[in-house]
Amino acid sequence: MIRLARIALAALILAFAAPAAAQLQDENANDFTEKLEIGISTDEIAITSDFRGADLTIFGAVDGFDANLLVQGKYNIIVSLEGPKDNATVRKKERVFGIWVNTSSMTFELVPESYSLSSTRDIETIAPPGEMGNMGIGVDHMRLVPLGFVGDGSNLGEFRNAFRRIRETSGVYERDPGGVQFISSSLFKASVRLPANVPNGVHVVRAYLFRDGTFVAAKALPLRVVKTGVEQVITQTAHQQPLFYGLFAVLLAVITGWGASLLFRKE
């Protein structure tokens, strides 16, 4: 019973610790004079039948900057485009009786389905890794919390690495350490990319301002990625009237098959 209480207490502390840390950051941010503003030309991306991915340009401005520091290149900006979050399972294959079988797996809780990162330079040189880790910026620092029982956790590292590697090689996680450029002293532009197999839902554009290795300010904007026209009607019907959808799919097949046999018989 005591042990249970202890676990509950630990969970409570953990639960409170996270918002407290966030609050601390906000307070820090207030000490700086710099302010960050960003804007995108659209808050909605429509997926049409010929969708092949999209490049997004985000404009932003730093207000109240220190001209000296700016000249020295002490200001750095990181812009990320985060896709909707979902649980993701990493599976590992091993050879069993000569064939390759999935033998172990690990599920990470609510990780972004897509992630495109753009910065003024390599993010590892913008701030110490510890700070990036705290804020969860960058593929290497993204929070990957395993779901459920993971044993002694000795294989956590390999599954995390595999997850990052696969997401990066498949192109849904990207980074461009030169994608943010200052176009005037305080105006900057950042380009991020939506991959072709982009998940639908609410994506978030986040911009972070760093001064000489210290986090100063952040700003976030939502970006909705929606299917349009026929695509939307199809998805909606498939999920809301699945029986009707299934019947329609069969009907379409019957008409196509029948039509073909009629068409070619006349020839």
Binding site for other proteins (CB under 8 A): 47-53, 86-95, 98-102, 105, 113, 159, 162-163, 165-167, 196-197, 199-200, 227, 230-232, 234-235, 238-239, 242-243, 245-250, 252-254, 256-261, 264
**Smallest distance, Å, CB 95 to other proteins?**
8
Minimal distance, residue 242 CB to other proteins, in Å: 4
Work out how close the CB of 229 gets to other proteins at its nearest, in angstroms, rounded to a whole number: 10
Min dist CB 98 to other proteins, Å, is 6
CB-based contacts of 58, cutoff 8 Å, min separation 6: 38, 39, 40, 79, 189, 190, 191, 192, 205, 207
Minimum separation from the CB atom of position 251 to other proteins (A): 9
Q: Which is nearer to other proteins, 33 or 87 (CB)?
A: 87
Q: How far is the CB of 99 from other proteins (least distance, A)?
A: 4
135, 208 Cβ separation under 8 angstroms: yes
d(CA 165, CA 176): 16
Q: What's the token pair of residue 146? A: 């395993």
| 227: β partners | 47
> Which CB atom, from 162 or from 221, has the smaller least distance to other proteins?
162
Closer residue to other proteins, CB minimum distance, 132 or 194: 194
Question: What value does the CA radius of gyration of the chain take, rounded to a whole number of Å?
Answer: 24
Query: By C-beta, is 79 or 198 nearer to other proteins?
Result: 198
Nearer to other proteins, 167 or 211 (CB): 167
Comparing CB distances to other proteins, the nearer of 114 and 118 is 114
- Which residue's CB is nearer to other proteins, number 71 or number 110? 110
Tokens representing 40? 């995108």
What is the nearest approach in angstroms of other proteins to the Cβ of residue 250? 4
Q: What string of DSSP letters covers 145-187?
A: PEES--TTSTTHHHHHHHHHHHHHHTTSEEEETT-EEESSSSE
DSSP 8-state symbol, 200: P
131: tokens are 């700070």
Could you give the C-alpha distances from 29 to 207, 217, 219, 251, in angstroms and in order? Answer: 14, 6, 11, 60
Q: Are 91 and 166 in contact (CB under 8 A)?
A: no
